């Protein structure tokens, strides 16, 4: 774990902070923010001079440094003033942290660009600052990356928004870490430990089923995938009850496939290492549950993670095998590499059978096809409830995490019916592979629960670097969207 841990507010004037660096902003039409103007006056007009010479244009992420005897000032480009929304603020926060890390600066003070009319904008600033400071260097002994960014003070910010943003971003950093850890570190056992740690920090009941209990409970699909590996599988349930007893709970289900070799239908070797990221759906659930454990909203939320490896062992299940899921449906395995939908079948039928849900969401690196359709920028979504889909899209706009809907029409749903079992784990050939995944999952949600499936196989890692994004590796995308949707 390496990211900014402290984002605090001060109502003192800038001259009284003892941070090494003070950050102010400039917009793309070269107008300075209010504190920017004050600093410019303090420095005898050199900032405006630099701007008039074209040395400082205000483009997003562009920055210049100025000095007096006691201070270092960073002027950060904020882009056009009329497009300065939460996402622009988040990006500015990310850029500031990246400049600080590159300059080996450990503490800084930053003006609250939003002048704090909107709480959510201070939240976005804190998110950007923390997310931009994230580095994954745990496995490199004696790394020479320089010191971490330790503390940021925001001048005249909104304390509540800042704290909330930092807590949410810490959840995202947890998800990035779990995703980036290799399969021999982020095992099902490790995911279970994280769930227990989160549950122990607040009033959240965490139940972990092991291999025997998974079989006993009738989770034949998860058990079937797990039987090819000696690594102990886990079925993790996190029960947060912050709301009234009669408030229907929301279920968050995440694919926790800690390494996907494809099984007997083995994957090609090139880039197979990336299949350590196949648990990024479960990392979303853990990231959200961690943020919830701190923010304690008046909601009831259930996090469920089916977790195992998908390997080839003497006991591994084979193409043609038939498994029985928790809801009693039988599944013909036509490709052991379509294992994510199998373990989710048990998890989705478990939550829908045992709770009367408000709605359910699942997150899964489910299909390579979604990457072909949408690339790394966007998460594919589909579901059974138009109103819930609309709300997901609204939250997506609020948080800047892009989603795009696929249809789950009957024609597609027909394609997962099997000739000798109830369903099969493939659609028709190579066509509409992402929808086939969703159509299969739908069989295990039933008709009574509003549900949206997030196929994060493109967006969970490999994204082009954003100001608040990682250089490479897991992104932790969609956690912010879920927290917005929940209304935390
Ligand atoms: N974890 C993979 C999906 C994946 C592939 C994510 C590439 C990111 C990059 C999933 O378990 C899988 O293997 N899906 C198969 C399904 C197919 C056999 C129907 C796929 O997409 O090839
Ligand atoms: Mn697979
Ligand atoms: Zn997989």
Ligand nearest to the CA of 367: 1
H-run or E-run covering 256:
strand 256-260
- The question of whether 64 is a catalytic residue gets the answer no
DSSP structure string for 378-442: -EEEEES-HHHHHHHHHHHHHHT--EEE----HHHHHTTB-SSSSEES--STTTTHHHHHHHHHH
Distances 328 to 17, 220, 350, 476 between C-alpha atoms, Å: 64, 9, 11, 34
Stretch among 184-188, 202-206, 372-376, 390-394 having the lowest mean pLDDT: 202-206
Asked if 219 and 81 sit in the same domain, the reply is: no
Q: Is 180 a member of any domain? A: yes
Atom number of ligand 1 nearest to Cα 267: 13
Q: Which atom of ligand 1 is nearest to the CA of 275?
A: 1
Q: Are residues 276 and 407 in the same domain?
A: yes
Count of structural domains, the chain: 2
Q: What pLDDT score was predicted for residue 120?
A: 72
pLDDT in tens, 55-108: 999 999 999 999 999 899 999 999 999 999 999 999 999 999 999 999 999 999
**Residue 298, in any domain of the structure:** yes
159 with 170: CB under 8 angstroms? no
Q: Are residues 16 and 51 in the same domain?
A: yes
Q: How confident is the model at residue 145 (pLDDT cuts 50, 70, 90)?
A: confident
In a domain, 310, yes or no: yes
Q: What is the pLDDT of residues 426-447, one digit of tens each?
A: 999 889 999 999 999 999 999 9
231 lines ligand 1 (CB under 6 A): no
CATH of the domain at 178: 3.40.630.10
* Active site (annotated) includes residue 6: no
Q: Do 259 and 356 lie in a common domain?
A: yes
In a domain, 343, yes or no: yes
* 135 shares its domain with 275: no
What rounded mean pLDDT belongs to the chain? 96
414 and 281, same domain (yes or no)? yes
Look up residue 4 and give its two tokens. Answer: 């900014």
Distance set, CA 40 to CA 37, 53, 153, 387 (Å)? 5, 15, 20, 50
Over residues 268-280, the mean pLDDT reads 98
> Does residue 1 belong to any structural domain of this protein?
no
Q: What predicted TM-score, i.e. pTM, was given to this entire model?
A: 0.98
In which domain, by residue range, is 266 found?
170-486
Rounded distance, CA 488 to CA 479, Å?
A: 12
Catalytic residue among 267, 329, 393, 402: 267
Give a yes or no: residue 165 inside a domain.
no
- pLDDT at res. 57: 95
Do 126 and 159 form a contact (C-beta atoms < 8 A)?
A: no
Residue 278 CA: which ligand 1 atom is closest? 1
Is 421 in contact with 322 (CB distance < 8 Å)? yes
Please tell me the predicted confidence (pLDDT) of residue 282: 99
Same domain, 367 and 321: yes
Residue range 458-483, pLDDT digits in tens: 999 999 999 999 999 999 999 999 99
- pLDDT score for 118: 60
* Residue closest by Cα to atom 17 of ligand 1: 338
State the CATH number of the domain containing residue 38: 3.40.220.10
pLDDT at 302: 98
Note whether 126 and 213 are same-domain residues. no
- Residue 11 phi, psi dihedral angles, 5° rounding: -100, 5
Tell me what the mean pLDDT of segment 228-256 comes to.
98
Domain boundary residue among 132, 155, 178? 155
Instruction: Name which of 264, 282, 266 is nearest 224 in CA terms.
Output: 264
The angle, 0 to 180 degrees and rounded to 10, between the axes of the packed helices 386-399 and 479-486 is 120
For 53, residues 6+ apart whose C-beta sits below 8 A from its C-beta are none
Rounded to an integer, the average pLDDT of 314-332 is 98
Measured from the CB, is residue 340 less than 6 Å from ligand 1? yes
118 in the same domain as 10 = yes
**What percent of the chain stands above pLDDT 70?**
99
Please answer whether residues 143 and 175 qualify as being in contact, where contact means their C-beta atoms are separated by less than 8 angstroms.
no
Mean pLDDT of 299-309: 99
| Residue at a domain's end among 155, 186, 219 | 155
Residue 162 lies inside a defined structural domain of this protein: no
Strand ranges in 80-179 using DSSP code E only, listed in sequence order? 107-111, 151-155
CA–CA distance, 265 with 316 (Å, rounded to integer): 11
Asked, for residue 455, whether it belongs to a domain, the answer is yes
164 C-alpha to center of ligand 1: Å?
35
**For residue 302, what is the enclosing H or E element?**
strand 300-310
Task: Show which of 108, 125, 155 is a domain's final residue.
Answer: 155
* Residue 310, ligand 1, Cβ within 6 A: no
Query: What distance in Å separates the CA atoms of residue 331 and residue 348, rounded to the nearest whole number?
Result: 15
Check whether residue 246 and residue 271 sit in a common domain. yes
Whether 365 and 453 have beta carbons less than 8 Å apart is answered as: no
């Amino acid at each position: 774990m390496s990211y900014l841990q402290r984002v605090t507010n001060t109502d003192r004037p800038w001259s009284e902070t003892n941070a090494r660096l003070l950050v102010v902003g400039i917009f793309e039409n070269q107008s300075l923010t209010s504190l920017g103007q004050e600093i410019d006056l303090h420095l005898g007009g050199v900032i405006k001079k630099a701007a008039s010479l074209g040395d400082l244009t205000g483009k997003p992420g562009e920055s210049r440094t100025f000095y007096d005897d006691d201070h270092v000032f960073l002027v950060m480009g904020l882009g056009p003033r009329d497009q300065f929304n939460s996402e622009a603020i988040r990006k500015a926060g990310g850029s500031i942290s990246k400049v600080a890390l590159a300059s080996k600066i450990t503490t800084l003070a930053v003006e609250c660009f939003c002048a704090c009319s909107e709480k959510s904008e201070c939240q976005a600033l804190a998110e950007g600052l923390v997310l931009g400071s994230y580095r994954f260097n745990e496995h490199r002994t004696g790394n020479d990356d320089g010191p971490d960014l330790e503390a940021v003070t925001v001048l005249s910010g909104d304390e509540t928004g800042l704290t909330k943003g930092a807590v949410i971003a810490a959840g995202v950093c947890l998800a990035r870490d779990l995703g980036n850890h290799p399969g021999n570190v982020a095992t099902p056992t490790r995911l279970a430990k994280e769930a227990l740690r989160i549950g122990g920090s607040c009033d959240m009941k965490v139940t972990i089923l092991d291999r025997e209990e998974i079989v006993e409970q009738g989770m034949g699909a998860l058990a079937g995938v797990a039987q090819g590996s000696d690594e102990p599988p886990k079925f993790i349930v996190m029960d947060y009850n912050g709301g009234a007893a009669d408030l229907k709970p929301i279920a968050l289900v995440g694919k926790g496939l800690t390494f996907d070799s494809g099984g007997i239908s083995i994957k090609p070797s090139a880039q197979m290492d990336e299949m350590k990221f196949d648990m990024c759906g479960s990392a979303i659930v853990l990231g959200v549950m961690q943020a919830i454990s701190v923010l304690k909203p008046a909601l009831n939320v259930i996090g469920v993670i089916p977790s195992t490896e998908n390997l080839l062992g003497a006991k591994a299940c084979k193409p043609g095998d038939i498994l029985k899921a928790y809801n009693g449906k039988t599944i013909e395995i036509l490709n052991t590499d379509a294992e994510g939908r199998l373990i989710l079948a048990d998890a989705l039928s478990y939550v829908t059978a045992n709770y009367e849900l408000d709605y359910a969401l699942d997150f899964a690196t489910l299909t390579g096809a979604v990457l072909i359709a949408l690339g790394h920028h966007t998460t594919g979504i589909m579901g059974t409830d138009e109103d819930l889909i609309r709300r997901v899209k609204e939250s997506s706009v609020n948080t800047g995490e892009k989603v795009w809907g696929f249809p789950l029409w009957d024609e597609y749903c027909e394609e997962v019916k099997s000739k000798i079992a109830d369903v099969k784990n493939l659609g028709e050939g190579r066509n509409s592979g992402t929808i086939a995944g969703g159509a299969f999952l739908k069989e295990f949600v039933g008709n009574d629960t509003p549900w949206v499936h997030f196929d994060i196989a493109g967006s969970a890692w490999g994204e082009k670097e954003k100001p608040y994004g990682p250089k490479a590796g897991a992104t932790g995308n969609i956690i912010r969207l879920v927290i917005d949707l929940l209304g935390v």
